[in-house]
Chains A and B, each alone.
Chain A
Amino acid sequence: MSEIKAKLDISLAYENKTDSIIHSDRISEEYEYLSQESVIKIETTLGTGSNYINLYPVVYDNGFNETLYFSSISCFIIRNKSTIIGDKITIGSSILTTDFTGFFNNYTDGIHIYSGGIFVLHNPIDLYSTSSAGGSRRLKISNQTESSVPVEIIIMGMGL
């Protein structure tokens, strides 16, 4: 896992009708990852009810089905790729200590992502910790619809 290069770039550009000036705001800084950091992408379909994405370990498809152990997480990107209005997934909302809740205040907190929606959380300094035993080692995503929901998940962090 060497020579990893990744950046998160979020920008806005708009023309205001009152001054006709193009405004451009660069929201995120270009962020080059450390050589120890890893990034994986998971494309999957969530069935109805609770689904879990393992973080410690996670087996991902890079052509070799390698196993990675995220000791901490710097970024989550989660897309609800459904095109059906009403398809809703929920990140978090667990009472189990084995579930990752690093970006929430309480285990029971959760945030909804609706069809076509995207959720990006970047935390480059105080990385969210995971752990192997008894701690946060999987991400819970609930599918609150009666059909399967396609999702795309990108995880960045310190991998072992």
Chain B
Amino acid sequence: MKNLKTSVLLDIKHNALSSLGDAFAFYSIDLNKELSNSSFEIYHITGTTPSGSGQVDIIDIGQGIDSLGNYNQIRKVQYFVIKNKSTTAGQTLFFDVNYDETPINVLFNASNDVLKIGPSGLVLYGNHLQTFDTSLTDRYFRIYSNLQAIPYELYIIGIRGE
């Protein structure tokens, strides 16, 4: 990735705040400037959660294959986005890192913590100054649902290992 730009644009306007200016919030993040000497990778997959009891999708971010079929080894995670593509109320996506008792423990407060993402919802998590490292054991995201097949999309932006 010789050029990579990632933008997070939040454009929020509220008429009651007009005295403070219309630009309520705006963020634009350019990873080229922040980590100009690094080798970026975007790991992008689309999937559907398994609907069987107790079944999960285990996403290997340290040894993954990207959307173009390239082999990835993301050593440092800068950003990730998980999107629940269902539009049906009640179809909640669950996300955690608890796999094989070696979670990426810099992310959550405890190894069994779980984030919920509702239908048409998304979570974006980013670190500017501090990335978190993957290792041979700490490299798994888990995505699952409650016995429902829910389509989802995952982007991981990180620094590739040599």
Contacts and interface: CB of A to CB of B under 8 A. Distances in A.
Interface of A: 1-19, 25, 27-29, 38-39, 41, 62-63, 66, 77, 79, 83, 85-86, 90, 92-93, 102-106, 108-127, 152, 154, 156
Contacts of A92: 109
Interface residues of B, number: 60
B14 A39 contact: yes
Contacts, number: 198
B110 A110 contact: yes
Interface stretch (B19-27, B55-63, B133-141): B19-27
Given A18-B70, A114-B130, A125-B120, A108 B11 contact: no
Interface in B5-64: 5-17, 19-20, 24-25, 27, 40, 42, 44
A70 B38 CA distance: 43
A2 B15 contact: yes
Interface in B106-129: 106-110, 113-129
Contact of A118 (B15, B27, B113, B157): B27
A92 B115 CA distance: 11
